[in-house]
Structure 1
Amino acid sequence: MSTERDAALDPFPIVIREFVGPRAETDDVTSALSVESRAALRQFSLERTLAYGVDYADAVELRGRVLDGQDWRSAATELADTCLRRVQSAPAVAGVPTRIAYLRRASALLRMSQMMMLSDIPERRVIFAEAASLYEQAADLLVDRTRVSINTDHGTLAGWLIPAGDAAVASVIIIGGIEGYAMDFDSMGEAFAARGVDALLLDGPGQGETRFIHQHYLSTQWRDAYRRAIDFLEERAPGRPIGFVGNSMGGSLAMAVAVDDTRIRACCNNGGIVAPWMVPPSVGTFFSKMVAYCGVVDPEQAVDVWRTVTPAADGPNAGYPLLVVHGRKDPMISTEMAQMLLESAPTDDKQMVVFSDGDHCIYNHRHDRDVLITDWMRARLCGVTTLELTS
């Protein structure tokens, strides 16, 4: 996807699109790469990259370029630039679907390009703002979702509303975790909308646009922000049941919100843990990201904030229906940790689905994951308690 050339000497015009293509990811190859490149290839598998909205061809090319020695950020950025050239060359009318597709591809690549940046430097903010702008341009063309800003006492919350239209019977909030944010989980939002559930893809405190553009971080007052998000959905559709889905560490936040707010009628935890504050500094990069999530430099101060995230605590809504989704091959969350969370949850209305080969957040079964969560959530929000979760 990197270059094109016209074979001018041929009798007919021939355009060749050049690609690096897939590379063997052997120890001999990866050992010669930089520490950052090895970490990027390890942390952002092909399956996870695809789950965050990167096109398959782009994901393969990104990995191939990094294996050839290019750094992660510049490789992803160059691929995004190629997508934007496709946008600019698309026909004015017939090319609308083309522009939508390449705008979304470019946005996903730019979001991927900043993944290895650990601090909130100005360059990272610019990259994320550009990714959101491209995503919004695609949304304006497709007319299927709108940007949302929710004011709170501690800063603005940003998100995207994917409406189900006149057929809507419920609403749901979807959040990501420490590094996967609102736009990265839009496949789940689209699956909800297709099932008659309005989906608010939300960047909570410490996440995505809320963090990089509005500089709103996780603090001890984080619950107030989520209450305002629930207010937003309640005011938009009074009386409509509301659910909450949290992915990765967002699952811990979702459960902590659900037990406190009686307006949450069902909750799904896809990858959270029972005690986020117990993640040790020895974990290294992930712990550093948890500190940055709070907008502080003092690890102890960040741990004090994370201590307020209590998914196993009792509360006024302790009987809420809970679905825990877990991947047995999750390198971050063991099956024992997932079972501990399930057992510790204050509700008696709970169940867990385990994907035997699932990775973290079930990125390697994105469609099946989205079907499972959206079908279960819609059923519970509409009062159906007998939905069978088949193996």
Structure 2
Amino acid sequence: MTTANPEVSPLVAAQHRAMPFTRLTDCGMDPADARRLLADTAAGTPWQEAAAAIADEQLSRARRARENGHLVTARQAYRFASAALMFAQMAYQSDTDEKRELYGRHTAATASLAPDVERVEIRHRDGTLTGWLCLPATGRPRATVIVWGGLSGWGAAYLTTARAYTARGLACLLAEGPGQGESRLRHGLYVDERVTEGFARFIDLVEADSRLGGTPGTIGVQGVSFGGLFAAHLATTDPRVAAVVVNGAPAVPVIPEFRTAREQMAAVIGTDDLDRVAEVMDALRFDPDKHRVTCPLLLLHGGLDPLARYEDQEPFLRAADPTTSTLRVWPDGEHTLYNHAAERDALTGDWFTDHLAGRRTPKG
């Protein structure tokens, strides 16, 4: 492994800020691989090359283990490869051929986790929405939680969260909604003023799947980072949402100041026209005087989050019933609480269990 160079380029410094060790491991990378990725990129290896090389080694490890009948080890290596490829594609903000190829490899690695992870596809408009369904090991799911990300991390990036939920008897559907994952990169579905219609299609899937039941009051949604805005909007318009978690989201989205973030947002909307980007962002403003969240709401906030200040998230609380809304703040929390991942997932898993499966716990 190469040695880290403290004198890194502005590009590498930005990548390390956007994808720190805590985020890499939160989204499923082997801690040793995460350290290597940061060291190799600091030493000059391009981010996408370093991450793809790590994935290749994990894929080789997975194949050897499978050939020798060590299926648990194989699944572990496929998970690590899937995570490495998720981060490899993040080197590209725009939808280049290289980004699509890396994301396709990520999807293939994730598919190798079957039957623990099940691929889902849903027709929507002129394209297909994609995602991953994770079921509890035994018994019928007590409820279902649909989880989605934001501008750069989607779907299987939240497999660790899904495992926390399935361990509690909940099914977890990791959604790649409009503007996300293969739904965007392969099928051309983007964010627009009616983006919540796309996310509602995942609720349709849960209701239609006999294994999940879709019983009223047993479907929750969780939006991470920018995706929390979509989750809050869906909770105001779709009565099938029985509980909602918002984690690190802006209530009033704006065109970012930094070029890479602007490129990410433009890619999500499918245009380089910044006037069109601003038009969509304005339509997605969450106004607590106009939008009301009638189901229980859990708002998560990190005190050191540079992307979503408390003031940016507070409107979601004002839109909810104070008797059924909960705020949880980690004063030292990073964006979406990468650095408190285990505690965060335990909290949200228990909260969804209480509100969707009928097991309330005494306050305090």
TM-score by length of 1: 0.86
1:316-374 CA distance string (max 9 Å, x none): 9732110000010111122332334423x243321200011110000111110000111
* Alpha-carbon spacing, 1:96–1:346, altered in 2? closer, same or farther (3 Å): closer
| Cα distance, 1:97 vs structure 2 | 2.0
- Structure 2 Cα separation of the partners of residues 298 and 91 of structure 1: 48
Look up the equivalent residue of 2:177 and give its one-letter code: G
| Cα distance, 1:220 vs structure 2 | 2.4
Q: Is the 8 A contact 1:273 1:341 kept in 2?
A: no
1:179-206 CA distance string (max 9 Å, x none): 1111111111111111121111001100
> CA RMSD for the aligned pairs?
2.0
Look up the equivalent residue of 1:61 and give its one-letter code: R
SS of corresponding position for 2:121: strand
- Structure 2 Cα separation of the partners of residues 92 and 101 of structure 1: 14
| Cα distance, 1:281 vs structure 2 | 4.1
Match of 1:199 in 2: 172
| Cα distance, 1:385 vs structure 2 | 5.2
**Are positions 1:245 and 2:222 aligned together?**
yes
1:188 to 135, 143, 161: 161
Look up the equivalent residue of 2:228 and give its one-letter code: G
- Structure 1 Cα separation of the partners of residues 348 and 74 of structure 2: 30
- Structure 2 Cα separation of the partners of residues 272 and 93 of structure 1: 45
Q: Is the 8 A contact 2:266 2:274 kept in 1?
A: yes
| Cα distance, 1:167 vs structure 2 | 3.4
Higher mean displacement: 152-161 or 355-364: 152-161
Q: Is the 8 A contact 2:232 2:316 kept in 1?
A: no
- Structure 1 Cα separation of the partners of residues 320 and 329 of structure 2: 20
- Structure 2 Cα separation of the partners of residues 78 and 243 of structure 1: 37
Match of 2:60 in 1: 85
Match of 2:310 in 1: 335
Look up the equivalent residue of 1:246 and give its one-letter code: G
* Percent of pairs with identical residues: 32
- Structure 2 Cα separation of the partners of residues 206 and 250 of structure 1: 10
- Structure 1 Cα separation of the partners of residues 269 and 328 of structure 2: 31
Look up the equivalent residue of 2:234 and give its one-letter code: V
| Cα distance, 1:20 vs structure 2 | 3.6
Look up the equivalent residue of 1:147 and give its one-letter code: R
Q: Is the 8 A contact 1:170 1:381 kept in 2?
A: yes
Match of 1:157 in 2: 129
Higher mean displacement: 75-84 or 126-135: 75-84
Structure 1's unaligned 5+ residue stretches are 1-18, 24-28
SS of corresponding position for 1:218: coil
**Are positions 1:34 and 2:9 aligned together?**
yes
Q: Is the 8 A contact 1:191 1:374 kept in 2?
A: yes
**Are positions 1:275 and 2:252 aligned together?**
yes
**Are positions 1:262 and 2:207 aligned together?**
no
- Structure 2 Cα separation of the partners of residues 212 and 133 of structure 1: 14
**Are positions 1:212 and 2:185 aligned together?**
yes
- Structure 2 Cα separation of the partners of residues 254 and 274 of structure 1: 11
Look up the equivalent residue of 1:307 and give its one-letter code: D
* Alpha-carbon spacing, 1:385–1:91, altered in 2? closer, same or farther (3 Å): closer
| Cα distance, 1:174 vs structure 2 | 0.3
Match of 1:223 in 2: 196
Higher mean displacement: 334-343 or 226-235: 334-343
2:345 to 370, 373, 378: 370
- Structure 1 Cα separation of the partners of residues 206 and 335 of structure 2: 29
SS of corresponding position for 1:166: coil
Structure number with bigger Rg: 1
1:43-66 CA distance string (max 9 Å, x none): 111101111111100001111111
Match of 2:354 in 1: 379
Q: How does 1:1-391 map to 2 (within 5 A)?
A: 19-20=1-2, 23=4, 29-31=5-7, 33-90=8-65, 92-137=67-112, 139-140=113-114, 143-164=115-136, 165-236=138-209, 237-240=213-216, 241-276=218-253, 279-313=254-288, 318-343=293-318, 345-348=319-322, 349-384=324-359, 386=361, 388=363
| Cα distance, 1:238 vs structure 2 | 3.7
TM-score by length of 2: 0.92
Look up the equivalent residue of 1:285 and give its one-letter code: T
